[in-house]
Structure 1
Amino acid sequence: MKVRLAKEDKNSNYKVSLSDISKEKDFIKILEDYNIQYKKTEYFKDFFMYKLIDINSKFIMILQEKASNFIKYIEPVSIYSLPLQIDDESGEIPVIYPEKNKNYITLGVIDNGIAHIKYLDPWIKRVHTRFLKKDTSTTHGTFVSGIALYGDKLENREMVKNEGFYLLDATVLSATTIEEDDLLQNIALAIKENYKKVKIWNLSLSVKLAIEEDTFSDFGVVLDHLQKTYGVLIFKSGGNGGNFMKKLPKGKLYHGSDSLLSIVVGAINDERYASNYSRIGLGPKGTIKPDLASYGGELLLGDNGEMIMKGVKSFSRNGNIASSSGTSFATARISSLATIIYQNICKDFKDFSDFNPTFLKALIIHSAKNTDRNLSMEEIGYGIPATSTEILSYLKNENIKIFNGVMEKNKEIDLDASFFEFKKDMKIKITLVYDTEFDYLQKGEYIKSDIKIKDISEAGRNLTRKFEGILARNKKIELYSDNDIKKNYTLIVEKLN
């Protein structure tokens, strides 16, 4: 039984997870015997959390004595609020409007609401909220949405090659604070009620606890389950830290950033270094997190101990151009990129039956490169993606082969001799992305069945693999797995000059 106590051991709300769910009745009896108020939240079948209201270490000692053999952990409930510094800037840019008779994809923005300012209003397709308008602040969601639609124009540089697309305003937190169980439930409801029409989601929110070395967080597990159940793709911010203000090393990514099916995003600054505040990986069990990075602005420690912001531009809720910094805003660029790519290849704008999250992830990861500063995987994952135009060009590029399929135990991929231009070998870049089944309760390996590439990429268990090297002409690419669970995969092979 893992225990983490609140600071100063004052009465707080705690969350409890059971390691043996058959003992749930015994656990409830202890709570009722001691008149402890509680709330149970079930995220999906057999995956639930108990929130114990207003307790301290005295009652935790009782639980250690009476229930330690069936409690997995007990820790303070995370409280989420959105502190945000937004500075107004001068200037205007042209408003873009939807074209008549054109089909658009919708990006779901899970946030604190989107203000109906002139730049965004034409694109807000629907609003999903459980809050009254007067209780919604819309600061952060507006800033995120502005970058998603206008990021390149605002910075006057091409990072994404922006195009218009619709927005779903999924408001999951009000202007005040929210506890983790309610936040997760609100996120789950937003996706559950809109997944048929919205396939790509931007989630620039975190629960402010650092991820662990060997256990996936409840938040991460819930995000993986949602994506697996509803066939959606989530772009998740890695989280911001303030250790640079104390001249301390960076903290680990926040809970939720260990979701393996999500694309997790870190931030870089204008000098192409990882931003001071951008938290780092790797994920639990050495999984590759963050996956990618993009421009999110910078925060600096000033000479007099003050914080200096060199932000990226978007809009304030009043409709002015404004600046701020954060992994949230780097994430908005990459969710925007994915939405534009899908918008250009989608054939079914009614039911989105051709949406393939594995394929989209593979295209974006394949395009990603390190900056000229040679940053570590812990900071930026696979690197900074190319623009939407460049990524879409892969689909017509004869130097690039893309294989989509379903595999169980083994799959051999044969590249014909003409691909090698009949030479004996070829320098290639390979990207593999796949999905799998998960052990959500983490009794065994979280990734129930992984895929390795024989002689090329065999280390660890990872849902993404990328490799550059020499491949002999007569050598097949062999994918293999430790069991026959069905896995959707995308493999991209590119000839390098």
Structure 2
Amino acid sequence: MAHNPIQIVLNSGNFVDDQQINPGGSKTDFYAERDEQFAVHKADLISQFAATKASIASSGRSAGFARVELRTAALAKSHRPTQILLKADATPIQGVSDFGELLVELTPAAVDTVINNVSKAEPETRRKLDRNGKLKPNPSRLRSEVGAVAKVTPYGPSDRRDFSLDAAASWLSDPRSGGYLLIQMFIPVTQKDHASDDRQAREMVVFQRRLLEVHPSLLLTEASDWWSERGFLRLGMDSQGASRSSEVLRDVIAVLDSEPYVRKVWLPPIIEQTRVVTSPSESNGAPYFVPPRTDANYPIIGIVDTGVSDIDALAPWVVGRVVAGDPESRDTSHGTFIGGLVADAGFLNTQPEVAESACRIFDLGLHITDEQSWAEAYPNGFMDFLEQLDFEVEEASKSGVRVFNMSLVLNELVRNDTYSPFAARLDDIADKHDVVFVVSAGNLSEPLFRSPWPLKADQALEMLANYPYPGADRLHQPADSIRSIVVGALDPRRDTSVQLVPSIYTRRGPGLAMGSKPDLCHLGGAADSTNQLQSFDATGLVVSGCGTSYAAPFVAKTLGHIEHKISGAVKRETLTALAVHGAVAPLHMEHAKLAHVARDFVGFGIPQTSDQILLTDDHSITLVFESQLKTKKALTFDFQWPQALVRQGGKCAGAATLTLVYRPPLDMKYGSETVRVNLEAYLRQEKLDIDTGELSYEGFFKSRGSSGLERERVREGQKWGSVKKWSRKTQKAGVGTSSQFRLVIEPLSRSGFAIPEEGIPFAAILSITDPWGEAPVFNQMRRSLQARDVTIADIRTAAQIRPRVGE
């Protein structure tokens, strides 16, 4: 029986010390023993840089931009060609697009310098003896950097725009768009920035003049500070009928396509509730719904949606309400269904997976379903919506709301090369108000449905391989949000003998830059109308439905209860880490053959209830570490494996699970490299070299991204992901030769990026378990840790004992 609470290490900061920094990678000759090919490569690069110079000259401007693509083997920061070839003072990197695609600003003089450096790279392979007496390539830094570059192309129209003229005309005619184009610039756009840089100010004047030559009504305007600071401008297209002229729109697009300082032209996102299917339930009368107990204290979940209808069943559960737009023109069906799931405590849905207790509701009815009412409430479209969300989240937070369910999406797919503006602003709101957003992965609609998920792994892989719309089923924005918890959907089980599988409509990962998304999954109801979830429609009748919209609130409820059951303030990283750590992947999805695809559908699994997450039995212990890591600092925590799980010869048996959640600095101009700092966690077992007597540590977890290629480390090894989890179960005979273990958490920053002075906040959770249910792990580990002056306490009451380190 689970009755032992999770233990928080109150003095986690005591274990943060100087990081043992490994030396950077040696210089690599990417053309070793291929000197003729290197000569051809040099000539190609010189020709490509010359073409970029010609492009700058034809524009008549002071500088231009190029896409410098690195070869796959050169993606690690130690290979970045910025020490000699692309030095920051002459050829600054102004952004990153997809993996290994640097966006470099170039002047004609800078191009000449680069071409000269390329020509000077030694033509022959140089060698030297290594410490074992073998000849190894030993290139100059310049040859290594020249070899690291795969291709150079001028930044062009296809880089700036990915929509057609017809699509733009249709989009701008929608009143929800705000009637403008969103322009992202390579250079700062605020007046104060221009005051300190005459060249940039002149270039902006030239850009504005080019637009006015098309139509006198066209005007670039700054949005709020958050947008302006990130280089965004609005180009209004509705004044004096400009947007209704196809000729004007064509000429505007031509200017934007050819403007060197424009990085990206966006059609302003249009927000939609996740498409769902609802139908009358067999018991679709208006039932008696248990009201909240007057003597109980419930968590409160914010619901950012269409609004929760003021029906008899839900009205007692609503503690706050915001109504945007005309109440008479709203369709609140979507928000009301979600409200019913949040307040339901097994009354309408009896599946064991949704056994989490009820929560109260703070209704943020900000999404307006009527297009004209939307335009009146949010004249600047999604920007105004997010500004209103910012304000209302702050107000709701004053009522104790920490977790917000937002089952709203954009009809735009998540991309590898772009951190979407909506997701970036959502993450900023989460940071500003210290809240957690739970968002849905998005739904497929017919004909994009996948076939039902087979229970045999080989058949599941075949089904995915034969999917006729590859790429079209990827997550919808804002599932590229770094701070939010993204949730996919599972079909409910008809009985306990049936396995949980991904729904045919749930969208799949990966997230931004092939990162791990969704984070979690939950029951969303099956597309089959006989196996759906039940809740209320706007009139109070019981209906059934399905969708990732309906999976997300179950996760939000668990987060709300975790936070509610812990005394004092809970760090966001700890809150997220607890939910992820306590998640269990559907059994079928843990098959080894599905290892490289499972996380794209179910993330780290379906969370257990808050009580199951916060309590363990006698055969397990869970430790929580909270701290911040500053420059050149790392957490190093030595401990002894539970003695009852140590076998003959020092072999250690059992299971371990480690979860790490941290808050990295973000910069959207770096696209696939938006996350600027990576934290990595390692669980290591001591190893004695019998011949030399030297002690070392080897990794306990086996990473799937263990090769030297950066792309694989990201996709399979979770590198640069802000939410990570590892687990391993040994054979009963145990592994290794020592009971001494070490937990290490250390930072790695991007090339040229300094870790902020305040450090990177993180939460790490480590569980050690006897899966055979025999060893007294909790008591043994607790005594062992206390003997080592580790201060631990029940996480639920730790705030009453002493402040946690770093608060």
Both proteins in one fold, TM over 0.5 = yes
More deviation, 2-11/102-111: 2-11
Higher-Rg structure is 2
Q: What's 1:21 paired with?
A: 188
Which letter maps to 1:329? Y
1:196 to 375, 379, 398: 398
Q: Distance in 2 between matches of 1:9 and 1:373?
A: 42
How far residue 441 of structure 1 moved from its aligned partner, in angstroms, is 3.3
- The separation in 2 between residues aligned to 1:160 and 1:372, in whole angstroms, is 18
Residue 87 (structure 1) aligned to one of 267, 271, 279: 279
Asked if structure 2 preserves the Cα contact closer than 8 Å seen for 1:362 and 1:432, the reply is yes
Q: Does 1:257 align with 2:484?
A: no
Residue 367 of structure 1 is aligned with which of 576, 582, 594? 582
Comparing 156-165 and 327-336, the one that deviates more: 156-165
1:269-348 mapped onto 2 (5 Å cutoff): 269-270=491-492, 272-299=500-527, 310-345=531-566, 347-348=567-568
**Corresponding residue to 1:479 among 741, 745, 762:** 745
Note if 1:438 corresponds to 2:662. no
Structure 2: distance between partners of 1:478 and 1:90? 55
* Residues 10/490 of structure 1: CA separation in 2 closer, same or farther (3 Å cut): closer
SS at match of 1:468: strand
1:36 maps to which residue? 218
Using structure 1 for the length normalisation, give the TM-score: 0.88
Equivalent residue for 1:74, pick from 247, 260, 265: 265
474-483 or 10-19, larger mean C-alpha shift: 10-19
Q: CA deviation at 1:38?
A: 6.2
- Deviation of the 1:200 alpha carbon: 0.6
Q: CA RMSD in A?
A: 2.8
Per-residue CA deviations over 1:22-53 (Å, capped at 9, x if unaligned) read 45853445444522266643372613452532
2:254 aligns to what?
61
Query: Quick one: which amino acid aligns to residue 580 of structure 2?
Result: I
Counterparts in 2 of 1:84 and 1:380: CA distance versus 1, 3 Å: closer
Distance of 1:443 and 1:319 partners within structure 2 = 45
In 2: Cα distance, 1:39 partner to 1:108 partner? 33
Give aligned pairs, total. Answer: 482
Indicate the residue corresponding to 2:573 in structure 1.
358
* Residue number in structure 1 paired with 2:721: 462
> Percent identity over the alignment?
21
Task: Name which of structure 1's ranges 9-18 and 472-481 shifts more when overlaid on structure 2.
Answer: 9-18
Q: Which amino acid aligns with 1:207?
A: L
SS in structure 2 of the partner of residue 56 of structure 1: helix
How far does residue 99 in structure 1 lie from its aligned partner after superposition? 2.7
CA drift at 1:102: 3.5
Q: Answer whether contact 2:623 2:766 (CA < 8 A) is retained.
A: yes
CA offsets 1:81-109 (integer angstroms, 9 cap, x no match):
44554212143654232333543332110
Identify the structure with bigger relative contact order (alpha carbons < 8 Å, sequence gap 6+). Answer: 2
Q: Deviations over 1:411-436 (max 9, x none)?
A: 11223454775553243111111112
Q: Is the 8 A contact 1:238 1:278 kept in 2?
A: yes
Using the TM superposition, give the Cα deviation of residue 190 of structure 1 relative to its aligned residue in structure 2, in angstroms. Answer: 2.3
Cα distance in 2 between the residues matched to 1:85 and 1:398: 42
Deviates more, 1:9-18 or 1:204-213: 9-18
8 Å CA contact retained: 1:107, 1:199: yes
Which 4+ residue blocks in structure 1 deviate beyond 6 angstroms?
none
Aligned residue number for residue 763 of structure 2: 490
- The CA deviation at 1:214 is 2.3
155-164 or 245-254: which moved more?
Answer: 245-254
1:45-65: CA deviations, max 9, x gaps? 613452532263331002223
Partners of 1:240 and 1:309 in 2: how far apart? 19
Offset at residue 20 of structure 1 (A): 1.4
Aligned partners of 1:415 and 1:476 also within 8 Å: yes
Q: Alpha carbons of 1:395 and 1:316: their partners in 2 closer, same or farther (altered >3 Å)?
A: farther
Of the three residues 212, 215, 222, the one matched with 2:415 is: 212
Change (3 A) 1:366 1:131: same
Q: How does 1:237-252 map to 2 (within 5 A)?
A: 237-242=440-445, 243-245=447-449, 248-249=469-470, 251-252=473-474
Q: Matched residue of 2:439: which SS?
A: strand
Question: Which whole-Å CA distance do the structure 1 matches of 2:235 and 2:392 have between them?
Answer: 22
Aligned position for 1:108: 302
TM-fit CA distance, 1:120 = 1.2
- How big is the shift at 1:310? 4.9
Q: Which amino acid in the other structure matches residue 382 of structure 2?
A: E
In the alignment, residue 41 of structure 1 is paired with which amino acid?
A
Cα distance change, pair 235–394 in 1 and its aligned pair in 2 (3 A): farther
Partner AA of 1:201 in structure 2:
F
Higher mean C-alpha deviation, range 288-297 or range 384-393: 384-393
Secondary structure of 2:347 counterpart: helix
Residue 406 of structure 1 corresponds to which residue in structure 2?
Answer: 628
Q: Using the TM superposition, give the Cα deviation of residue 174 of structure 1 relative to its aligned residue in structure 2, in angstroms.
A: 1.4
Give the secondary structure class of the aligned counterpart of 1:115: coil
- Residue 173 of structure 1 is matched in structure 2 by 367
Cα offset, 1:406, TM superposition: 2.1
Return the offset for 1:443.
7.2
More helix by share: 2
2:163 maps to 1:5: yes
Hey, what does 2:337 align to over in structure 1?
A: 143
Q: Once structures 1 and 2 are overlaid, which stretch shifts more, 268-277 or 3-12?
A: 3-12
Give me the TM-score of the superposition, normalised by structure 2. Answer: 0.56
Choose the corresponding residue for 1:129, options 310, 317, 323: 323
Distance in 1 (CA, whole Å) between partners of 2:556 and 2:572 is 12
Paired letter, 2:425: V
Q: The residue matched to 1:241 in structure 2 has which SS?
A: coil
Structure 1 residues 270 and 9: alpha-carbon distance in aligned structure 2, compared to 1, 3 A threshold: closer
Does the 8 A contact of 1:42 with 1:49 survive in 2? no
Give how far 1:138 is off: 1.3
Partner AA of 1:3 in structure 2: R
Deviation at 1:381, TM superposition (A): 0.9
1:377 alignment partner in structure 2: 599
In structure 1, distance between residues paired with 2:615 and 2:747: 31
Residues 402 and 90 from structure 1, CA distance in 2 versus in 1: closer, same or farther, beyond 3 angstroms? same
| Paired amino acid for 2:162 | R
SS at match of 2:670: coil
| 1:321-373 CA-partner distances (Å, limit 9, x unpaired) | 1111111100011101111222222x35xxxxx03221111111112222132
- Give the distance between the partners of 2:677 and 2:643, measured in 1 at CA: 31
Residue 507 of structure 2 contacts residue 601 of structure 2 at CA under 8 Å; is this kept in 1?
yes
| Alignment partner, residue 182 of structure 1 | 384
Distance 1:315 1:344, change over 3 A: same
Q: Which amino acid counterpart does residue 308 of structure 2 have in structure 1?
A: I
Is the contact between residue 417 and residue 512 of structure 2 (CA under 8 Å) also seen in structure 1? yes
Change (3 A) 1:312 1:495: same
Counterpart of 1:100 in 2: which secondary structure? coil
